[in-house]
Amino acid sequence: MKIAIASGKGGTGKTTIATNLALSLDNVQLLDCDVEEPDSHLFLDLKLKKIEDVCISIPKIDKQKCDFCGECSKFCQYHALAVVKNDVLFFSELCHGCGGCTLVCPKNAITEENRVIGVIEGSNSGSLEFYHGLLNIGEAMATPVIRALKTKIKNEKTVVMDSPPGTACPVIESVNEADFTILVTEPTPFGLHDLKLAVDMLRTLKIPFGVVINRDGIGDSRVEEYCEEEKIKVLMKIPHDEKIARLYSKGIPFIEQMPEWKDRFRELHKDIEESAWG
Ligand code: SF4
Ligand code: SF4
């Protein structure tokens, strides 16, 4: 089963849920898909090693063959190519590597070459298999790195995917193959606003989901009222607890010192299996 952990906004506790859930289960893979700022590894006892580079194909223009007709720049929706007098300008950071310019060039003046945009790293900790993607600084496209990360998924394992925050393309890439998504929120007006956006996204994608309320006790009851009105299951509430916060600040998953929570995360997993598979 593939379980994505998402939230409409950052800082709600996605990583806390992802790491504590993964460490409570057996035969599990944890994938940190927040490739712009991965942090799950900070809570795990791991020696990360490089698995592979992530590349996209970018065009290489042979100016001996090119007649500067402009077909490639006309085709490129991302404005990565501009044809000026006797030259073709290429803005590599705008290129999505779609390969379209190569296909439309009437002079066969374009070939493709690889450009590294990130890296996949991984390691094992006990029965936990961990991978994360790391987008190179200055790169804009997180999606190819997340796609590369997802090739590590083993279907015979329980897979927990810590998604990027928000509701844009990188989140969709990380939740689109999930059997179930846990939406992590906090009981505040900001939490509710962003939860509603995430709920809309998952309903559009037709992915089953439930909510975990983190830092329960701060804010108000509007998140719970919203979930009740919308018939969204609240799977778990994690209290606003000083001990949990202290452990988080030291990079310690709280199940390690509060073992009663390990059983609650196992129950959560069982609950998810029932909700997703009946
Ligand atoms: S489509 Fe080909 S020939 Fe035309 S400007 Fe682009 S690279 Fe040159
Ligand atoms: S590969 Fe696609 S995105 Fe990149 S320059 Fe060519 S048409 Fe544009």
- CA distances to 50, 70, 93, 167, 258 from 78, rounded to whole Å, are 31, 15, 10, 21, 50
Please state which of the four CATH numbers 3.40.50.1820, 3.30.2010.10, 3.40.50.720, 3.40.50.300 is assigned to the domain occupying 2-54+122-277: 3.40.50.300
CB of 35 closer than 6 A to ligand 1?
A: no
Element spanning 121, H or E: strand 110-125
Could you read off the pLDDT of 82-120 as tens digits, one per residue? 999 899 999 998 999 999 999 999 999 999 999 999 999
Q: What is the pLDDT at residue 6? A: 93
CATH of domain 63-108: 3.30.70.20
Distance (angstroms) between ligand 1 centre and the Cα of 68 equals 5
Intrachain domains 2-54+122-277 and 63-108 with the same fold: no
Distance (angstroms) between ligand 2 centre and the Cα of 109 equals 14
Ligand 1 atom closest to Cα of residue 83? 5
Tell me the domain boundaries of the chain.
2-54+122-277, 63-108
Q: DSSP secondary-structure letter at 40?
A: G
pTM summary value: 0.89
Could you read off the pLDDT of 259-268 as tens digits, one per residue? 999 999 999 9
Please tell me the distance from the alpha carbon of residue 190 to that of residue 205, in angstroms, as a whole number.
23
